Amino acid sequence: MILSVEDLRVSFATDGGVVRAVDGVSFELAEGEILAVVGESGSGKSVTAQTVLGLTRAPNTTITGTVRFDGRDLTELDDKGLREVRGERIAMIFQDPMTSLNPVYRVGDQIVEMIRAHRKVSKREARQSAVELLNSVGIPNPERRVHHYPHEFSGGMRQRVMIAMALALDPDVLIADEPTTALDVTVQAQILRLLQKLNTERGLAVVLITHDLGVVAEIADRVAVMYAGQIVEDASLADIFYDPQHPYTWGLLGSIARLDEDRPTRLAQIAGQPPSLLNPPTGCRFAARCPHAFDKCSEPPPLDGDRCWLTPEDKRRLRDVDGRIGLRKAVTS
Amino acid sequence: MTAPLLEVTDLVKHFPIKSGIIVDREVATVKAVDGVSLTIGEGETLGLVGESGCGKSTLSRTIMQLTTPTSGSVRFGGEELVGRSRRTMRPLRRQMQMIFQDPYASLNPRKRVGQIIGEPMELHGIATGRDVTARVRELLDRVGLQPEHAERYPHEFSGGQRQRIGIARALALKPKLIIADEPVSALDVSVQAQIINLLEDLQAELGLAYLFVAHDLGVVRHVSDRVAVMYLGRIVEMTTATALYEKPLHPYSNALLSAVPIPDPKLNFERERLVLEGDVPSPIDPPSGCHFHTRCPWSTEVCDVDDPVLEELLDGHVAACHHPRNLAELS
């Protein structure tokens, strides 16, 4: 395991109370693996990723648990220690490539600065690597493009610049937080291909944070489904799509309007909204929206495997909605 | 055959790009909408898809007369909308309403929900005083909110709930046509499903027609009877949802559909994929001939010089292409 997160808890003190954004998250990332973390807005997927790199540290934040990487606990490293990990070993790219690049510096200079902050190389050598990096992520005319400003690039090209910068120090792990969400589908396909290529050719391990199950199906090896600050299910790609255990996963799968299916009857929607993380329920956090909830669901769900009290037989029976996986509105008698 | 509810013919919207300090010279134009024709029947849903910058939003705003078209005609229920004054536009605008993408930006934060939904009714004189309150409560209930929510402000609601408020506001004037510009793209999938189901229920119940603008092709297939595909200000293909998704004729539609990952790993892996190179060209200086020829894997010399016209290649299936796909196996 190259990265292992254990019982991570992140809470923010706000005027309204303590928000438990991440509440007991554990997962492992194997070398060369693509792990997708799926969840809706506010489920804690971005906070989890940012905490791995120490980006959520602030006076109002409380972080407990461990993030093991290469024999060290990243939550205990100081700023200097973190700098040696960030970029060098674990790199990160974000959803909006425009706000992650400095608009008043040429992209070449930004890559050079980043390389020279970590490596003792001349400006000339760094610039040469910048050109090579831009070339490796598929940017045409890299010799000319290093002199351009971020606004001269399209969204897809900017995301390629971000990826080039992330690869500059040859990291082992890339954390990609919704890398294609701001992009058009044809450009998204290009970026996903690129990530896949880097994964196979360089053995780059990827934590991909996304809300799009189509993107997950396209490139992930394993999937962790997050809901209200917790991972409710963590399984192989095939199991998540063909043998999902948690009713929330069923609901997610059922509520997608699919491209490859003709107008079906109704989408299997999930009623209601996620609970407030100011004061989350002690039992199963999905119980209030789950049509299959029963007495036991008011107790904290099991920690091993999926967080659901239903028996495996019940699950197989209940998740079938007209031959597809979905979340039934009410249990039919 | 009766006239369609909405008939758009050769609609053009060009935005001038000006330069110069003393003399305001027009140096170029952005051809946001460049000769679009379409029809929507009563109770029908026309999906409109395309990538960012293809002109989908400008087209919907131009149909609504929120921006003045450069040329062309928009007929609603047989009446021409282009060139009308604000006063003569008003009774017609009542019948066509809009739902916007961003439920955070499209509701006035200083007004209570009751005012937001009730004001259009008072402005158009279709209800006054107590009737307004009663109708607001009824509408809130209809879109799945509580009648007492009328007293609250928009910030007290989640994204999905706000979109419901936007829908209630659009319904307040009993429109025949709703133009929905990316109504679910800002929402999480589970909430998306709630809103799509609501829009479909309302259509069945009230006989609404929708122009459903979205970039999510899955959502569009689910809600639409017919779908139009836009590229650089023009419609390149238009047909029934099933025909478009099963046998797209235009290479761009093929590429667009092939780019969308399917949430089913096995099918996704088995499927043949067509990944386009490059980005969408600028609408200021679109490529010569067929606008798509710079990215099209099947383009030939003719595509470079000759602009293909939108013609009916199959029954009810129009496309603008010199080398349509999937045609041989169909005929």
- A168, A117 Cβ separation under 8 angstroms: no
CA distances B330 to A9, B23, B320, B327, Å, are 58, 57, 17, 5
Nearest CA in chain A to B160: A273
Nearest CA in chain A to B279: A187
CB contact under 8 A, A255 and B256: no
Nearest CA in chain A to B217: A259
CB contact under 8 A, A260 and B264: yes
* B215/A contact by beta carbon, under 8 A: yes
Minimal Cβ distance to B221: which of A41, A253, A263: A263
Residues of chain A with pLDDT > 70: what percent? 98
The number of beta carbons lying within 10 Å of the beta carbon of residue B54 is: 27
At residue A186 the predicted structure's pLDDT band, cuts being 50, 70 and 90, is confident
Q: Which segments of B48-186 does DSSP mark as H helices, in order? A: 56-63, 86-93, 113-123, 129-142, 159-171
CB contact under 8 A, A271 and B218: no
CA distances A246 to A38, A286, A302, A310, B286, Å, are 13, 10, 12, 9, 49
Nearest CA in chain A to B271: A260
Interface test with B, best of A256, A270, A324, A325 (most B CBs within 10 A): A256
Burial class (CB in 10 A: 0-12, 13-18, 19+), B248: buried
Q: Is A147 helix (H, G, I), strand (E, B) or coil?
A: coil
pLDDT of residue A332: 39
Minimal Cβ distance to A252: which of B190, B216, B258: B190
pLDDT of residue B99: 94
Minimal Cβ distance to A255: which of B189, B260, B280: B189
Interface test with B, best of A38, A45, A181, A185 (most B CBs within 10 A): A185
Q: Which segments of chain A does DSSP mark as H helices, in order? A: 45-52, 79-85, 97-100, 107-118, 123-136, 142-145, 155-167, 185-202, 213-219, 237-242, 247-254, 312-318
For the stretch B240-259, pLDDT in tens is 999 999 999 999 999 999 98
pLDDT of residue A330: 46
State the sign of the Cα–Cα–Cα–Cα dihedral B319, B323, B329, B331.
positive
- A178, A209 Cβ separation under 8 angstroms: yes
Residues of B (48-107) whose Cβ lies below 8 Å from A: 51-52
pLDDT of residue B223: 93
CB contact under 8 A, A260 and B276: no
Regions of chain B with pLDDT less than 70? 1-2, 329-331
**List of chain A residues whose C-beta atoms are within 8 Å of the C-beta of residue B188:** 40-41, 211
- A229, A280 Cβ separation under 8 angstroms: yes
pLDDT surpasses 70 at A235: yes
A270 to chain B, closest Cα gap in Å: 6
Q: How many CB pairs under 8 A join A and B?
A: 132
Stated as kind and residue range, the H or E segment containing A235 is: strand A230-236
Torsions phi, psi of B171, nearest 5? -75, -20
CB contact under 8 A, A267 and B259: no
**List of chain B residues whose C-beta atoms are within 8 Å of the C-beta of residue A214:** 218, 260-263, 268
Torsions phi, psi of A296, nearest 5? -60, -25
pLDDT surpasses 80 at A178: yes
Residue ranges of E strands in chain B: 6-19, 25-40, 45-49, 71-76, 79-80, 96-99, 177-181, 209-213, 226-231, 234-240, 311-314, 317-319
CB contact under 8 A, A262 and B189: no
pLDDT of residue B281: 85
Lowest mean pLDDT among A54-63, A263-272, B70-79: A263-272
Q: Which long-range contacts (CB under 8 A, 24 or more apart) does B76-79 make?
A: B76/B5, B76/B6, B76/B7, B76/B177, B77/B3, B77/B5, B77/B176, B78/B3
Nearest CA in chain A to B54: A184
For the stretch A307-331, pLDDT in tens is 899 999 999 999 988 778 888 764 4
Nearest CA in chain B to A187: B279
* B200/A contact by beta carbon, under 8 A: yes
Task: Give the global pTM.
Answer: 0.87
B211 to chain A, closest Cα gap in Å: 17
CB contact under 8 A, B215 and A259: no
Minimal Cβ distance to B196: which of A185, A267, A273: A267
pLDDT of residue A29: 96
Stated as kind and residue range, the H or E segment containing A170 is: none
Both tokens of residue A116? 């020279």
- A77, A67 Cβ separation under 8 angstroms: no
For the stretch A11-35, pLDDT in tens is 999 998 999 999 999 999 999 999 9
Minimal Cβ distance to B263: which of A187, A214, A268: A214
* B156/A contact by beta carbon, under 8 A: no
Q: Is the ipTM of this complex over 0.90?
A: no
pLDDT surpasses 70 at A333: no
